Structure 1
Amino acid sequence: MKIAIIGAGAAGCFAAANIPANAGHEVRVFEKTGKALQKVKVSGGGRCNVTHNCFDIEELAARYPRGRQFLKKTLHRFGPADTIRWFESRGVQLKAESDGRMFPVTDDSQTIIDCIWKEMMRNGVQVQYNKSLNALESRPGGYTLRFADGSTYEADKVLVACGGFPKDEQYAWLRAIPQTIETPVPSLFTFNLPGNPVTSLMGIAAEVSLKIAGTKIREQGPLLITHWGFSGPAVLRCSAWAARELHDRNYTFTVLINWLKDKDDDTLRTDIKRLRTEEGKQLIDHKSPFGLPRRLWEYLLQESGVPEQTRWADLTAAPQNKMIENLLRQSFTVKGKTTFKEEFVTCGGVRLKDIDPATMQSRQHPSLYFAGEITDVDGITGGFNFQNAWTGAWIAAQSMVKEA
């Protein structure tokens, strides 16, 4: 049997690594670029955030803005515990960090790449590069793959694992099958604040609570100020949950920042009252009483109209109220987005109700399978998108071999 895998990314290569050589199949992976596993290489700052330290399926599925119900069915088949066992049984130990992200103990993504690649080569997988697919044509007993270089390949089974596409027209070859595609829009992106003075604080990070005005979307966690705006886990998670809504707003919206994370008005007013009593003679800008970076604290005081050399005992009502507002609900107008490094993620893709979660096979097209980001599944940051790739790829590999 001839199995064609479209895409040499996480899902495609992991599927190939799970099709045993003794099954007697010819497995070919077709990659449109000149390299394999590139997103694995750059993820997690080059460390590869393999999965997440979460083993409750309900809780795990809740980390995916799109695809939650589908994943409740697939993650039972191959979840984070299975991912850990798969790599550890091949000599790669994983470790969990305090936020739940899991990395190889080597802190090197090449460890993950080498492990998957070794399994692929052991299985006799052939990888062909610079093979951009133009058309996928059904034929009796299988499919004909037509590539941009004019070559073709006859396959009995096809796994589409080429990742998500940023532009709708890039799905034309799938729509022609025909296959319903949920319109793609970016997920996991940073917020642009053109001309905002906060960008002068680039490089400063803080633990915040962040809310997108006019929505119920709220996140807590690290925020990083950059020369173009806001980045960091809290921002990226918000971008994932609000991906379609922010797209509809043309990425122009208001974000509210609580720089003190979980403090509220009553608590903060009590703190300030105490400071006026206990630290009355101290200059307000001398040090931050709330653990904020010094430069950020000075910026917030300036934005609140607190004069330099003001002592806590001399703080008047107007700047105090403005300071409270800025500390708990500072408003920023976002105009535009920036893709997060090279870890591009989209929401959208192959409609999930067209895929059988037990096999990852198309419900309309026999012997056609989907795995990874090509499906309308995307997770927040923390290893969730890779886990979806491993899960779908493993199920598809098992299903293709079993049916054969």
Structure 2
Amino acid sequence: MQSLHIAVIGGGAAGFMGAITAAETFPTAKVTIFEKSRNVLSKVKVSGGGRCNVTNAAPSLPELVKGYPRGAKFLRPLFEIFNNQHTIQWFESRGVALKTEPDGRMFPTTDSSETIIDCLQQAAQRAGVEVRTSAGVNAIVAEGEQFLLRLQSGEELMVNRVLVTSGGHPQLSGYDWLATLGLEIETPVPSLFTFNAPKLPLKDLMGVSVGKVGVKLAGSKLTEAGPMLFTHWGVSGPAVLRLSAWGARELASKNYQFMSLINFTNQKPNEVQEQLTSMQRDVQWKGKFVPTQAPFGIPQRLWKQLVELANIPDTMRWADLPAKNLHRLVEQLTNFQLEVQGKTTFKDEFVTCGGINLANLHPKTLESRHVPGLFFAGEVLDIDGITGGYNFQAAWTTGVIAGRNIGG
């Protein structure tokens, strides 16, 4: 009897996890990864500044699913089978120890993505997975119970099962080769991006970070809190990136021209007002010049400019601060208006919102409802997470689920 040939299209995180799982679950099957570029696992390599943010240390499944603007409901039962704890065990059982950073991100203790790449490649090799690079697949044609794969090189070959892990595409046309299989595609738009603010009234703050701010999309309920970083083109940092993920479709519909409201204190305006008023009466503060010392843990360079925007002169002492200037300062601190005009991709990591509509799949196996034997995993699906290891966790989970079911 001829052994089952399983083709995995895409040599990224989900592709490798799917291929390894399939080869280990169905040891008589032949498993081949087809990667269009010359290198596999390129996104793993650049993730987390070259350290690879493997997963997130969310302490429970309800906490874990909170990291997914799209796909949370679909992932919840899959996380019962393979979640972040299983990911930690999977890597540790193969000799890779992970560590947790204060914000919940998990990295290899080596702080090198090469550790993860080596682990996945060695696991694939041990399981007998064949890896073909510079082998892009142009078309999948279902022929009876088999599939004809057409490669960019002109080569054609028959396989029994296909796992598509080709990643996200920034353009809808990137999914054309899959749409021919009768799959419904959700139009892709960018997620996880930084805000460009060419008219930012604050100067020379590049590299200044604020510990915890509130970032809001004006006129909507969208709001996020967390660290924020000033860049030479605008603002970045976890609070901005998370807002961009949750608001991916809404911000795309605005063509990335919108007003963002920033609360540098992450406190309510009346609380900030009370604190500043008490400083005016405090013996330690009232004799000091307002611009000289920043409260609320705000960086001094930022504080000085916010004070200036509130029309407070350098020679103004706290005790002499007029009520109208105090109100202006509260407004600058808690409701700073940032005019956003465009976006920038976050480092080398692009994430898309959109892809294969999840209704196309059997939710327990990730097999196509319309084309038996065709499976999907990873970012090609309409699943995406906020920054912090969530996107890789979705890749590991969907790769494992598809891999365990594809040879059945």
Instruction: Give the TM bin, normalised by the shorter chain.
Output: over 0.9
The 2-side partners of 1:388 and 1:272 are apart by 45
The 2-side partners of 1:374 and 1:265 are apart by 43
2:368 aligned with 1:357, yes or no? Answer: no
Kept in 1: contact 2:23–2:31 (CA 8 A): no
What is the aligned counterpart of 2:57 among 34, 53, 57? 53
How far apart are residue 269 of structure 1 and its match?
A: 1.8
**Greater Cα shift, 367-376 or 32-41:** 32-41
The aligned counterpart of 2:220 is 215
Q: How does 1:225-244 map to 2 (within 5 A)?
A: 225-244=230-249
The aligned counterpart of 2:90 is 86
SS of the aligned residue for 2:204 comes to: helix
> CA 1:198–1:131 in 2, change beyond 3 Å: closer, same or farther?
farther
Q: Kindly, what percent of the aligned residue pairs are identical?
A: 47
The aligned counterpart of 1:345 is 351
Q: How does 1:220-369 map to 2 (within 5 A)?
A: 220-261=225-266, 263-278=267-282, 279-369=285-375
SS of the aligned residue for 2:386 comes to: coil
How far apart are residue 147 of structure 1 and its match?
A: 1.9
- Structure 1: gaps (5+ residues): none
How far apart are residue 29 of structure 1 and its match?
A: 0.8
2:186 aligned with 1:182, yes or no? Answer: yes
2:21 aligned with 1:39, yes or no? Answer: no
The aligned counterpart of 1:120 is 124
The 1-side partners of 2:151 and 2:48 are apart by 32
TM-score by length of 2: 0.96
Q: Deviations over 1:299-345 (max 9, x none)?
A: 11111111122111121122211111000010111011111111110
The aligned counterpart of 2:7 is 4
The 1-side partners of 2:273 and 2:129 are apart by 65
The aligned counterpart of 1:13 is 16
Q: Deviations over 1:162-204 (max 9, x none)?
A: 1100000111111111211011111000001013233521100
2:166 aligned with 1:157, yes or no? Answer: no
SS of the aligned residue for 1:20 comes to: helix
2:398 aligned with 1:395, yes or no? Answer: no
The 2-side partners of 1:290 and 1:347 are apart by 35
Q: Deviations over 1:129-175 (max 9, x none)?
A: 22222211111221111122211221110000011000001111111
Letter in 2 for 1:221: G
2:11 aligned with 1:29, yes or no? Answer: no
Kept in 2: contact 1:199–1:226 (CA 8 A): no
The 1-side partners of 2:272 and 2:387 are apart by 31
The 2-side partners of 1:166 and 1:251 are apart by 15
How far apart are residue 110 of structure 1 and its match?
A: 1.1
The 1-side partners of 2:171 and 2:162 are apart by 23
Q: How does 1:56-205 map to 2 (within 5 A)?
A: 56-198=60-202, 200-205=204-209
The 1-side partners of 2:58 and 2:146 are apart by 39
- Structure 2: gaps (5+ residues): none
The 2-side partners of 1:246 and 1:382 are apart by 21
SS of the aligned residue for 1:260 comes to: coil
The 1-side partners of 2:76 and 2:232 are apart by 40
- Structure 1 outlier segments of 4+, above 3 Å: none
Kept in 2: contact 1:199–1:227 (CA 8 A): no
The 2-side partners of 1:19 and 1:189 are apart by 34
The 1-side partners of 2:274 and 2:263 are apart by 17
